[in-house]
Chains A and B, each alone.
Chain A
């Protein structure tokens, strides 16, 4: 880039921190995705919506690509810099502006950490359900841009279900507010929905109006162990057929169970084929009733053991294995690739079996855990990005897994987004028409193509 542009930027925006030194920007050359890296030209830290708008206007005048970044925990390369770009980091725009317990909502700036939102809600007896595994550091802006999920998807839905309104800086530098505090609103297109999951390609989210719900008063946790994956899946079907919607239905496969035992030693049987962590919440009497019914169903469908927690401490103990799953896998090999293929619940067993076969076929270590209630699996590849021969096999195996998920009526990504990592698989998953409509949308919002270019799909096929 012309160095004059950088000095022009600094003179126009003296109050905006702008990093350009190698030691300052190398740390922004990646996000949470394995093996993707590129250094930006500069990293800028606006502190208000107006400053964001200023940066975007400047970028459009000088045709500089803008890659928006929250905390850089994304798992599809969404905030990995594109060549010649400015990274626009929102971590310093991070105030909670309002908690409205009349209308059950909260207004936050985009850089607020997800956990801080959950806490602010909890402090007034309310509940913000989306709980991505990264919530201690991910930003709400990033969550909206990825439409992130979490463990509670089956019962409570995902980030989209809690967005009432958005303030967005458009590619032109104009500031749009879409949505309001009303539960009902059908005035025109629901523009806010377009920005949810748009991965920084349509606009820059600067504020989020978030829906909150009353906090459930009770919770019950149980752990069921199986010697066959099928039995675990049947239990899940039976629970849902019994008209119970648990808030958590987490699954670990045998590879994950053994990794957990290697690292955290929680005392799971190593020969187990699957475990299910089940949690129900709501009012005390319903929770009690549901828990004992679910325990019966688990036993009926072949669980070799079922434990119900009586105290909060026991509940935390039962959840240890699930909590340790990712850490236990991530330690095994230098490179951890966490995928999120998702299928309709009824097809879960087929998908799990297929992942196991693929892992054997290509001699790869893949541990699978995930959200059994919503069909969202996390096949986790334990590999080494410097072993090129093995990485080739990983790519082939991954493609086969995605293809199979699509064949079963599922999707290549349930919650991590497309970014750079899944771009090559999108066409086949969605078909040409879907993509061409998306391209038209992209061009309508961002005619110059400066917002996170090259992510999700390319403009020119």
Chain B
């Protein structure tokens, strides 16, 4: 959406494009769970349309419905009419926020902490990440749990404490130089380090840079990057999303780079919409459009330039891997075969298909915080499917999914490894060069 849109001012053809055929219903996880139209894409769009038509106010129930939606965009993939649900959904949530129908002190506090304080300040986020790491590494977490201190937390956070992710020892800028060059440079690319990825999975960023170098890309990685704003855009805070977009664009030499790359599906899906987001800003509109054109998911890029298959080495033992598709990769960006191509290029790796691989795992941004029950149901369903494949390694390309699966597996006592496809590729390159 652009920064000024509302359901009423939106080009009506966007709402009207839904012909209420219902083809999206069977792919929608929330409809699947309740079999109620209101919890379906078609139902939600009809409510948005009622608002646009002036037949419905923005009510609390409307607001709750917009937040019960996972934003997984499975409906977009299923829709024969090409309805731009992502756009509608962002506008609707933004309107819910400006109507303040869901406000309560607790929610406002969380929102301002998460969206305004934490995820706009990369340095602060790193400090929190550091504390988190210290909390875990020092044994404080163990003590906290042993003393049942989590009982002191408000109800909905009790489960979350168990989910506190393991923070990394080192952040991306400590692992990646601002510019790294391959022996022969064919392409020049920028790499986005993300916020969650940077704090929790900085090694994936390192792996990304290494695979790019192995594919003759000169890599530019600005050391301190703000959050891309996807969390804000998906949660109705468009103004902050706009500010973050401008800050991020300013860090890159958009004109000179061949591509700007992200390894986080949720970010990529949003980063590609900067053109639309900043369309009304005379200073940024043009660069933002160029940015959107050059923004690629890492798998998309590697497949486009023809990923170099790692040479086979003798030490490889067969590794059975299954692939969970992040919603914002398969539905949001329609990237489905590229990650599989990359996985299949890895010697010694056997890819087994995951049943329902495109069904949301329940992470959905901060959904597992706002709708813990639905999120837990989806997590369980996903883990059952994973177990049915017999694979011990699950590849997935989004930090949210990564955490959701890791937590779920831990709680249920499964011992699968959750990894990013690019990490598996980077390992294979390392094996090839004898570094592993």
Contacts and interface: CB of A to CB of B under 8 A. Distances in A.
Contacts of B40: 27
Given A331-B81, A336-B81, A34 B22 contact: no
A327 B12 CA distance: 20
B22 A27 contact: no
Nearest to B60: A23
A137 B16 contact: no
A300 interface: no
A335 interface: yes
Given A30-B20, A32-B21, A91 B38 contact: no
Interface string A69-94: 00111000000000000000001101
A113 B37 CA distance: 15
Interface in B18-75: 19-23, 25-26, 35-38, 40, 42-44, 46-47, 50, 55-56, 59, 61-62, 65
A280 to B, nearest CB: 27
B17 interface: yes
A430 B428 CA distance: 72
A19 B34 CA distance: 13
A330 interface: yes
A219 to B, nearest CB: 23
Given A136-B26, A335-B19, A386-B12, A27 B81 contact: no
Contact of B23 (A34, A94, A136): A136
Contacts of A92: 35
B61 A34 contact: no
A29 interface: yes
Contacts of B21: 32, 73, 134, 330
Contacts of B159: none
B19 A27 contact: no
B22 A26 contact: no
Contacts of B37: 27-28, 72
Given A27-B40, A134-B21, A91 B35 contact: yes
B46 A137 contact: no
B9 interface: no
A73 B19 contact: no
Contact of A71 (B13, B25, B82): B25
Contacts of A330: 19, 21, 80-82
A326 interface: yes
Contacts of A34: 19
A22 B40 CA distance: 16
Contacts of A29: 46
B47 A27 contact: yes
B47 A134 contact: no
Contacts of B16: 334-335, 384-386
Contacts of A136: 23, 26
Contacts of B42: 27
A23 B81 contact: no
B24 to A, nearest CB: 9
Contacts of B81: 327, 330-331, 336
B62 to A, nearest CB: 6
A31 interface: yes
Nearest to A91: B35
Contacts of B44: 27
Interface residues on A, range: 20 to 34
Contacts of A327: 80-82
A23 B12 contact: no
A327 to B, nearest CB: 4
B62 A137 contact: no
Contact of A137 (B12, B25, B55, B61): B25
A23 B38 contact: yes
Interface residues of B, number: 31
Nearest to A21: B61
A400 to B, nearest CB: 23
A101 interface: no
A19 B35 CA distance: 13
A23 B22 contact: no
Given A32-B20, A71-B25, A331 B47 contact: no
Contacts of A91: 35
A32 B46 CA distance: 12
A71 to B, nearest CB: 6
A174 interface: no
A23 B19 contact: no
A24 interface: yes
A256 to B, nearest CB: 13
Nearest to A28: B37
A115 B17 CA distance: 26
B33 to A, nearest CB: 12
A266 to B, nearest CB: 16
Nearest to A34: B19
Given A23-B61, A326-B80, A335-B19, A30 B46 contact: yes
A73 B46 CA distance: 15
Contacts of A27: 36-38, 40, 42-44, 46-47
Contacts of A334: 13, 16-17
Contacts of B22: 32, 71-73, 134, 137
A91 B43 CA distance: 15
Given A27-B37, A27-B40, A134 B23 contact: yes
A73 B20 CA distance: 8
Contacts of A71: 22, 25
A26 B23 contact: no
Contacts of A21: 61
Contacts of B46: 26-27, 29-30
Contacts of B38: 23-24, 27
A23 to B, nearest CB: 4
Interface string A180-222: 0000000000000000000000000000000000000000000
A26 B26 contact: no
B69 to A, nearest CB: 13
Chain A CB within 10 A, most for which of B37, B38, B55, B65: B37
* Most chain B C-beta atoms within 10 Å of own C-beta, residue among A30, A330, A385: A330
B64 to A, nearest CB: 9
A23 B56 contact: yes
Interface in A324-380: 326-327, 330-331, 334-336
Interface string B382-395: 00000000000000
Interface in B127-178: none
A23 B65 CA distance: 9
A327 B78 CA distance: 10
Most chain B CB inside 10 Å of its own CB: which residue of A26, A30, A31, A73: A26
Interface string B2-21: 00000000001100110111
B361 to A, nearest CB: 22
Interface in A379-416: 384-386
Given A326-B80, A334-B16, A384-B13, 4 more contacts: A24-B38, A28-B37, A137-B22, A386-B12
* 8 closest A-B pairs by CB: A27-B43, A27-B37, A327-B80, A23-B61, A330-B81, A334-B16, A331-B82, A73-B22
Interface of B: 12-13, 16-17, 19-23, 25-26, 35-38, 40, 42-44, 46-47, 50, 55-56, 59, 61-62, 65, 80-82
Interface of A: 19, 21-24, 26-32, 34, 71-73, 91-92, 94, 113, 115, 134, 136-137, 326-327, 330-331, 334-336, 384-386
28 contacts: A23-B61, A26-B43, A26-B46, A27-B42, A27-B43, A27-B44, A27-B47, A28-B37, A29-B46, A32-B20, A91-B35, A92-B35, A94-B35, A113-B26, A134-B21, A134-B22, A136-B26, A137-B26, A326-B80, A327-B80, A327-B81, A327-B82, A331-B80, A331-B81, A331-B82, A334-B16, A336-B81, A385-B16
